[in-house]
Amino acid sequence: MDRFARIIVGYHGCHARYGEELLLGKTPVAEWKKSQNDFDWLGEGVYFWEHSLERAWQWAASQYGGDGFVIGALIQLGACFDLMDARCTLLLAQSYSEFVEALQARKKKLPTNGGVKKKARKLDCAVINRCLDRMIAKDVSFDTVRGAFL
């Protein structure tokens, strides 16, 4: 969770029209909308494929066909909630337990992962969002979230 330790190369898949607007400065980076899809794994935010231009192209093509586009960026991770760091996975495990208890107390169902075509990651996303919100309540915030998945 080192504040400014790493810079990575990230690739963001998007629609060609949107990518061109970004490159031409017609859409400022600050106006990027947070992704809030059922298939998001790492919570709400803007997603990049780290060091994987090819994977970003695959994703963009699967979403937009011939209108897929990829933007490359140098990203300073800042305070990173890095799921390859045991400190972060411990926080996440604690947050999951608290999330389950809170839902049970309110007699609400736990979100689920699943799906056929686009694998829904509602549980993953909800737990990460809750964990980050919990940290903000403790006056700790993160700039980025990072994880590795098969």
| Per-residue confidence in pLDDT tens, the chain, 150 aa | 556 668 999 999 999 999 999 999 999 888 888 888 877 888 888 999 999 999 999 999 999 999 999 999 999 999 999 999 999 999 999 999 999 999 999 999 999 888 766 688 889 889 999 999 988 888 888 999 999 876
Tell me which of 76, 98, 126 is where a domain ends.
76
62 and 119 co-located in one domain: no
* The pLDDT value given to residue 117: 65
Could you tell me where the beta strands, DSSP code E, fall in the chain? 7-15, 49-50, 68-76, 80-82, 113-114, 120-121, 144-146
Owning domain of residue 87:
82-142
Give dist(CA 28, CA 21) in Å, integer.
8
71 and 43 co-located in one domain: yes
In a domain, 149, yes or no: no
- Domain count for the chain, please give it: 2
The pair phi, psi for residue 68, each rounded to 5°, is: -70, 155
90 and 130 co-located in one domain: yes
22 and 66 co-located in one domain: yes
Tell me which of 42, 76, 110 is where a domain ends.
76
Cα radius of gyration rounded to whole Å, the chain: 17
In a domain, 2, yes or no: no
In a domain, 33, yes or no: yes
Tell me which of 53, 76, 99 is where a domain ends.
76
In a domain, 27, yes or no: yes
Taking residue 59's Cβ as centre, other Cβ atoms within 10 Å add up to: 19
Look up the pTM and report it: 0.84
In a domain, 147, yes or no: no
* The pLDDT value given to residue 120: 84
* The pLDDT value given to residue 39: 76
* The pLDDT value given to residue 2: 57
